[in-house]
Amino acid sequence: MKIKSNRYNKVYILLTLLLTLFLPACGSSPTLSSNTSTSFTTDTSNDCLIDLRGEVMHPGIYKVESGSLLYDVIELAGGFTAYANIANLNLVSLITSNMKIVIEKKAEKKDESTPLNQHKINLNTCTKTELLTLPGIGDSKANAILSYREQTGAFQHVEDLLKVNGIGPTLFQDIQALVTI
């Protein structure tokens, strides 16, 4: 019986030793080492995220170091498009925090040298052919303008075009600058 008891003592001592080593480890939670990277950790570096939109070659979100210039972000995006309005941009502005930057489009200028805009069409003396050169004026609307002029006499104001059947506010806005009385 002494042999069995000696074996039990060894097993008992071994189990006690194992429990002594592993129980403290089971009671504590795992910790991350300082060099472990996770997708949800907070980045303590001085980087900023810039949401760049509008008239740049490659709009998107860019990560730059705090203190970078707006110029640097624009270069990362491939530069400006031909339509970018850069007149009021300060390209040496410092990026210090996460921000959204929108590069606006240039305002379109009307070409004053086109034949349509060289002279205004006089509503009281124009022909049907001249009326047909106006945007949105076809055969029926040109005829309606001439009929209105025959029935009521000369136009007193350019706004009188709104009284012509078929000429609404939208069309009037399109041709207002192209006609006179």
180, 120 in Cβ contact below 8 A? yes
- Quote the pLDDT of residue 16: 79
Specify the CATH superfamily of domain 115-180.
Photosystem II 12 kDa extrinsic protein (1.10.150.320)
Beta strand 121-122 pairing with 179-180: parallel
Q: How far apart are CA 81 and CA 59, in angstroms?
A: 11
Pick the range with the lowest mean pLDDT from 1-5, 51-55, 141-145: 1-5
Q: Is the pLDDT of residue 33 over 60?
A: no
Domain spans of the chain, in order of start: 47-103, 115-180
- Quote the pLDDT of residue 45: 66
Mean pLDDT of 130-147: 90
Mean pLDDT of 31-48: 59
pLDDT in tens, 146-162: 999 999 988 999 899 99
The beta-strand segments (E) located in the chain are 47-54, 60-65, 99-103, 121-122, 179-180
pLDDT in tens, 87-97: 888 999 999 88
pLDDT in tens, 165-181: 888 888 898 898 899 98
- Quote the pLDDT of residue 5: 67
Burial class (CB in 10 A: 0-12, 13-18, 19+), 85: middle
At which residue do the structure tokens 């200028």 appear?
A: 109
Q: Which residue has the higher pLDDT, 9 or 72?
A: 72
Instruction: Name the average pLDDT for the chain.
Output: 81
